[in-house]
Amino acid sequence: MHNRVFFPQAALDTWLADGSIELRGTELSILAEARRYRLAEAARILQEVTGTADAHELLGRVKSKQYLDELGAEVLENSMILGDNAYDVMPGWLAYPVGSFEEFVTSPERAKARSQSNFPDEEPRTEEDLLARYLLKNL
């Protein structure tokens, strides 16, 4: 399975406003890192609010909108209805890296970004290191 990460919509809104990311269609670019991700609309399921058992075992998980639609869920802003259940959700996006991490590290785009970075000697070793560094600087 490919690495993927969930970006809340509120975080993307902030990063777009401050110019640290760029969106083109369904592709997000973290500009300082020159890393690209394909996006799929998703929601993080936070809690079931009716007291009904979570028959689909969704609590605490991130699911794509496509998957939720297939289940018959109706998502509106921060709420989701699925059968007899009602949930609080966090809207956002699942992000899938474009290309392997090894391809990214050796790409000309990465070399250019690294030369312009405030931390040119701190090359991330993994996708997780890259995202952790970005999130620590931008949250």
Contact of 45 with 64, CB cutoff 8 Å: no
Predicted confidence (pLDDT) at residue 1 exceeds the cutoff of 50: no
Task: Parse the chain into domains and list their residue ranges.
Answer: 5-138
What are the pLDDT digits (tens) for 13-64?
999 999 999 999 999 999 888 899 999 999 999 999 999 999 999 999 999 9
Cβ neighbours around 16 below 10 Å, total: 13
In this prediction the pTM is 0.82
Q: Tokens 């777009």 label which residue?
A: 16
Report which secondary-structure segment, H or E, holds 109: helix 108-115
**CA-to-CA distance for 92 and 44, rounded, in angstroms?**
8
Contact of 62 with 94, CB cutoff 8 Å: yes
